[in-house]
Structure 1
Amino acid sequence: MAAPLPSLAALRAFEAAARNLSVTLAARELNVTPGAVSLQVRELENALGVRLFERRPRQLFLTDEGNAYFATLRRAFRMIREATEDLAMRNRPPSLTISCTPTFAAQWLVPRLNDFEKSVPGIDVRLNASNRLTNFERDGVDVAIRHGFGRYEGLVSERLLDDEFVPVLSPALMRSRPLAEPADLRDHVLLHDVQRQDWRLWLDAVGANEVVSSGGPVFVNSNGAIEAAKAGDGVALVRLSLVARELRDGVLIAPFPNGIATDLAYHLVYPPAALDRPTVASFRTWILDEARTNRAI
């Protein structure tokens, strides 16, 4: 007949006190009083018939018996935690964490995510909207969408959307102050994101050197400039991929649709082993198809 086990509360109290070598820290961890921890440990010692700790003023040391018992008990608690986490994970839907910039999230990805969730149901999609660089392991990110040249050491990078800048404005503003040629922009408010020099580059490229680009409000990201353009506050210079739906739906107008191309683009970025996970592989297939559709709009 198996010997009866000590109480779980006593075992937890001893394990926490042994790991911290402090009754006070163990009590704080277990959300009980130090007296409760001391009582549980003494009851465990009485039940086992051995001393587990050497108690000195303001110091706690494990005895040889206590050290051996702690080593075994620590492994047992770790196995219990791992088994519990494994069981909990089996009952959760598979997750997918995507990192991208706030502007790309608001203007391109979020309006389309419902289509992905319908095509691949049962996935818990989590969006990490941030401008900072992604550390896949530290941040728990599965895939990232980043704007740049597509060179990311140690990562797979697939080109999603090319980067062409076009001026856009609301239909109402276009009716009140028509834009027949780029030089007509001198009569409009130019809306800027933090890359304020983009307007100057675009104007020089189309030969509208006489238009002053230094004026106009500056927004922290392209999304702010796009919303201001929708409201009729001026003309925004934005990446064509970010306003494809607005242009298709007539919410915005691009009077000069032939954009100025750059070597920059949006890329799907992920670690090489990421495609071993079905959720990542499904998302990759979907977003590449969606990007091809977007280029055809």
Structure 2
Amino acid sequence: MQIPFRSIIVFHAVARAGSVSRAAEELRVTPSAVSQQIQALELHLGTALTLKVGRNITLTEAGERYFQMVGREIEHIADVTQHVRGIRSATTLTVRAAPSVSSKWLLPRLHSFVDANPDIELRLDGTNEPTDFSKENVDIEIRHGEGVWPGLFIEGLGKERFFPLCSPALLPAASITAADLPEQRLIHSVKSQMQWPRWFAEAGVEPERRWHRVLFDRSHMAIDAAASGMGIALESELLAWRELADGSLIRPVRDAPEVMVATQWIVCPHNHLRHRKTRTFLDWLRAERERSLEPDDFRRSHKVAPSEI
């Protein structure tokens, strides 16, 4: 029996892309040619593999099973073919993350992912707008928000501890109380999930008057402003870990309440988890998340005194 290898390759492309048109673009053929190959494979197998949902394609139960069985073999054949040709197989992974988490959390760590995965070409898209995965070529996103986006795979990057932070040139560590804060210049990150009024409520403080504010559109700007001595920012140790580690930021408030919120989320369509490059990056993110949220490891790695964490 002749095996319809061409149709299998086309099916694999459609299953990965979730769209006939995107698969056609990748294969450099017409969408009608792709549809014909899928129909031929379904006729050969005697079962439906795909269903049309709007402009996209979803797999039937048989299609899911078939994709799982052939997917890794096709990727292996592609890798072996590139190796025999003497060309290092390279795959592009596009990651989108908001500017603050990109510059403050991802960039200082990315060298370990790049070093461990030389076959993956990484593209980091530092954009604050949520990805429309049906139209944009983004594999995985770290998204800021409340974690409610129906139809997508969602996993928290981790709960963040929020503290007032400032330069040691402005105030010594643990030198004031929460009630003293309204007398200081307070830095606001206007798009943050954690705002000063909420933190004051957790601390049991009711400011008697409006405090002096400086507002920034992004957390990374608020962190840099605080490190420069402009005022006191309310930020998480997840984003400010490097400044805490090198001593450019300290915690000026003694006995501050521990306020924890999840604000950063790993997001992608469920079918992207089939791709080796996405799974590899997700596993790396999970490992980095565990390291970054472990206080003892944080102190040992960055030589930070317990009083500063």
TM-score tier, shorter chain, comes to: 0.5 to 0.7
**Residues 213 and 204 (structure 1), Cα distance of their counterparts in 2 relative to 1, 3 Å cut:** farther
State the aligned residue count. 212
Q: Which of these residues, 162, 166, 171, is aligned with residue 169 of structure 1?
A: 166
**Residues 141 and 181 (structure 1), Cα distance of their counterparts in 2 relative to 1, 3 Å cut:** same
Which residue pairs with 2:43 in the alignment? none
Instruction: Give CA-to-partner distance per residue, 1:128-184, whole Å, 9 cap, x none.
Output: 112212112311000011123323222111111213321100111123x96331122
Tell me how far apart the structure 2 counterparts of residues 78 and 99 of structure 1 sit (CA, whole Å): 29
Which residue pairs with 2:259 in the alignment? 260
**Residues 206 and 258 (structure 1), Cα distance of their counterparts in 2 relative to 1, 3 Å cut:** closer
**Residues 93 and 169 (structure 1), Cα distance of their counterparts in 2 relative to 1, 3 Å cut:** same
Q: Which of these residues, 286, 289, 299, is aligned with residue 288 of structure 1?
A: 286
Contact 2:202 2:257 (C-alpha < 8 Å) held by counterparts: no
Which residue pairs with 2:110 in the alignment? 113
Contact 1:99 1:143 (C-alpha < 8 Å) held by counterparts: yes
Which residue pairs with 1:7 in the alignment? none
Tell me how far apart the structure 1 counterparts of residues 209 and 102 of structure 2 sit (CA, whole Å): 31
Which residue pairs with 1:201 in the alignment? 198
**Residues 224 and 123 (structure 1), Cα distance of their counterparts in 2 relative to 1, 3 Å cut:** same
* 1:227-242 aligned within 5 A: 227-242=224-239
Q: CA RMSD in A?
A: 2.7
Structure 2: which 5+ runs fail to align? 1-27, 34-77, 299-309
Which residue pairs with 2:177 in the alignment? 181
Which residue pairs with 1:20 in the alignment? none
Which residue pairs with 1:50 in the alignment? none
Tell me how far apart the structure 2 counterparts of residues 260 and 213 of structure 1 sit (CA, whole Å): 22
Letter in 1 for 2:188: H
TM-fit CA distance, 1:220? 1.2
Q: Which has the higher helix share?
A: 1
Which residue pairs with 2:276 in the alignment? 278
Tell me how far apart the structure 1 counterparts of residues 263 and 96 of structure 2 sit (CA, whole Å): 16
Contact 2:186 2:232 (C-alpha < 8 Å) held by counterparts: yes
Structure 1 position 191 matched with structure 2 position 179: no
Letter in 2 for 1:292: E
Contact 2:153 2:268 (C-alpha < 8 Å) held by counterparts: yes
Tell me how far apart the structure 2 counterparts of residues 273 and 206 of structure 1 sit (CA, whole Å): 43
**Residues 133 and 270 (structure 1), Cα distance of their counterparts in 2 relative to 1, 3 Å cut:** same
Contact 2:91 2:120 (C-alpha < 8 Å) held by counterparts: yes
**Residues 253 and 216 (structure 1), Cα distance of their counterparts in 2 relative to 1, 3 Å cut:** same
Which residue pairs with 1:46 in the alignment? none
3-state SS of 1:217 partner: strand
Letter in 2 for 1:234: G
Tell me how far apart the structure 2 counterparts of residues 237 and 205 of structure 1 sit (CA, whole Å): 13
**Residues 120 and 178 (structure 1), Cα distance of their counterparts in 2 relative to 1, 3 Å cut:** same
Calculate the TM-score normalised by the size of structure 1.
0.64
**Residues 290 and 178 (structure 1), Cα distance of their counterparts in 2 relative to 1, 3 Å cut:** closer
3-state SS of 2:154 partner: strand
Calculate the TM-score normalised by the size of structure 2.
0.62
TM-fit CA distance, 1:211? 6.0
Tell me how far apart the structure 2 counterparts of residues 95 and 161 of structure 1 sit (CA, whole Å): 26
3-state SS of 1:236 partner: strand
Q: Which has the larger radius of gyration?
A: 1
Percent identical pairs in the alignment equals: 32
Which residue pairs with 2:61 in the alignment? none
Letter in 1 for 2:260: A
Instruction: Give CA-to-partner distance per residue, 1:214-258, whole Å, 9 cap, x none.
Output: 422111111111101110111001122111222122221123464
Letter in 2 for 1:103: S
Letter in 1 for 2:259: I
Which residue pairs with 1:95 in the alignment? 92
Contact 2:191 2:217 (C-alpha < 8 Å) held by counterparts: no
**Residues 124 and 99 (structure 1), Cα distance of their counterparts in 2 relative to 1, 3 Å cut:** same
Structure 1: which 5+ runs fail to align? 1-76
Instruction: Give CA-to-partner distance per residue, 1:70-99, whole Å, 9 cap, x none.
Output: xxxxxxx959xx9xxxx9xx6672111011
Which piece of structure 1 moves more, 281-290 or 126-135?
Answer: 126-135
Tell me how far apart the structure 2 counterparts of residues 206 and 98 of structure 1 sit (CA, whole Å): 37
TM-fit CA distance, 1:186? 3.2
Which residue pairs with 1:145 in the alignment? 142
Tell me how far apart the structure 2 counterparts of residues 106 and 94 of structure 1 sit (CA, whole Å): 23
Which residue pairs with 1:247 in the alignment? 244
